[in-house]
Structure 1
Amino acid sequence: MPEFYYTARTPDGKLKKDRIRVKDEKALSDYLKNRGLMLTTSKIMDKPGKFSITAFIKNFGGVPTVQKIF
Structure 2
Amino acid sequence: MVNQKITCIILLVLSTLAILACLVINFEAWIVYAVAIFGIPTWVLSLGLLTMAKAKPEDVEERVKEPFTGY
Give the structure-1-normalised TM-score. Answer: 0.26
| Higher strand proportion (structure 1 or 2) | 1
Higher relative contact order (CA 8 A, sep 6+): 2
